[in-house]
Amino acid sequence: MRTSTSCVLDGGSDGERAYVRNAKALMCGCDSDTFEAPTVIRYEPGQRLAPHFDANRGADVEDANRGGQTLVTMIAYLNDAGDGVTRFGRLNGGGGGAGGGGGGGLEVAPKKGSCLVFFPATRSGAFDDRVEHEGAEAGEEKWICRIWRHANEVRPPFGLPRGYQP
């Protein structure tokens, strides 16, 4: 399903703290104790991530040790990669525009410094199957950093250290 490599960060560097602060600002009304630790993901040419969901119908049980349901996904693109788009095959892109694919789905191109925020479940935690997405095959190296916000506190080793202050 995934052919990329990844590394979970502890949030300790200045850059990581800034990233978590910005995530908190974008996801107003939440605290970083509901975040999984930031994960840096590298796709080499030819690597991809098959269509999948970030939320889970059984999250209250299956993901209880990770804070339950995934409510928000935030992806920061760390380089321009041209292709290797993030594709939402079940959403209508409405044509043209920044990231807009035709009627066959919504595509977001990886552009250094841009950020994609989406909601794999409703605020109340209801799974939303329209938000199935994939990382299309990368033609060149692609780097992203992802944070998931969950419904409940995410404790280490999945979450940031207790008492973490970005």
List the domains of the chain with CATH numbers: 5-150 (2.60.120.620)
14 sits in which H/E element: helix 14-26
Q: According to the model, what pLDDT value does residue 30 have?
A: 87
CA distances from 72 to 7, 20, 150 (A): 20, 14, 7
Q: According to the model, what pLDDT value does residue 94 have?
A: 57
Q: What is the pLDDT of residues 98-131, one digit of tens each?
A: 444 445 689 999 999 999 999 999 999 999 999 9
Q: According to the model, what pLDDT value does residue 102 have?
A: 45
* Over residues 50-65, mean pLDDT: 93
Q: What is the pLDDT of residues 22-55, one digit of tens each?
A: 999 988 888 899 999 999 999 999 999 999 999 9
Q: According to the model, what pLDDT value does residue 83 have?
A: 86
* Number of neighbouring beta carbons within 10 Å of residue 91: 17
pTM equals: 0.89
